[in-house]
A and B are shown apart, each in its own frame.
Chain A
Amino acid sequence: MNKLISLIAGIIFGTGLVVSEMINPEKVLGFLDLFGNWDPSLAFVMIGALAISSPLFHIIKNKKKPIFAENFNYSNNKSINNRLIVGSGLFGAGWGLVGLCPGPAISSIALLNIHSIIFVVAMFVGFYLVKFINFDNKNT
């Protein structure tokens, strides 16, 4: 059942990326172009998502357990350190260069766009490199 739920949640998420147009890097870059031709639309994506997910998270987490799993499993990492800032900074730079972040990049594979496929392959190489040099210590 977990796999079916994962598939359904992924489909819903991917549909949201299309409806909100967050799948389009041009739209994302318009949002990041704060001092130019700013398109604030994507702020509304975040507001809409948080308006639903945040209250539901706080209600659901008080249940004894999830419906198809033994326990709730999410990060309780509170550390604000150099890794967080440097990593987020690197991510922000890559995001600003092309306008793709991981979700929209993977969803856009559906469109068979060679540009986004190249980006996704490079992104997975990046994931692997961090794992390979053993730098993804989850506790730090």
Chain B
Amino acid sequence: MDIVNFTPVSATLGGIIIGLAVAVFFLFNGRLVGISGIAANALTEKNNRFDNLFFLLGLVIGPILYSLFTNNEIKITISNSFILLIIAGLVVGIGTRISGGCTSGHGISGIGRFSLRSIVATITFMIVGIVTVLIKNFV
């Protein structure tokens, strides 16, 4: 286990903030957050298009506000080749549309309402994700 990088406090706090966002969206707008659905519908559906676009805009503004108010620099590391990024992006876009949700839609909103369908989806993408990383480590 990786004790050096284990950050349970900030992870739980971040999770609570994400849970609040889901509750706010549901209480006021009556919809459950699922980012793949919001993003895909912003692209392809006229219905609720601006609601969806504003949510996506918020997703981008969130980290900017965080940096401004906390003076913390947000660091991310992506070390894949461009071709792999394109393949992975395509597969994530296609897969989440076929299955009707991603980490947020199935993993949080779906499991939160005790949907068996979402539990099965989440277990599936977790297992395949773990196996993919396992294979990558051997290649």
Contacts and interface: CB of A to CB of B under 8 A. Distances in A.
Interface of A: 1-27, 29-30, 32-54, 56-58, 60-61, 63, 65-75, 77-80, 83-103, 105-111, 113, 115-116, 118-131, 135-136, 138
Contacts of A98: 78, 80, 84-85, 88-89
Name the prevailing secondary structure of the B interface residues. Answer: helix
A91 B44 CA distance: 20
B108 A107 contact: no
Contacts of B121: 84, 87-88
B44 A128 contact: yes
21 contacts: A6-B29, A6-B54, A16-B20, A20-B17, A21-B7, A41-B6, A48-B14, A54-B114, A78-B116, A85-B99, A87-B121, A88-B99, A94-B87, A94-B91, A97-B84, A98-B80, A98-B88, A102-B35, A107-B62, A118-B86, A126-B96
B11 to A, nearest CB: 4
Interface residues of B, number: 106
A32 B98 CA distance: 22
Name the prevailing secondary structure of the A interface residues. Answer: helix
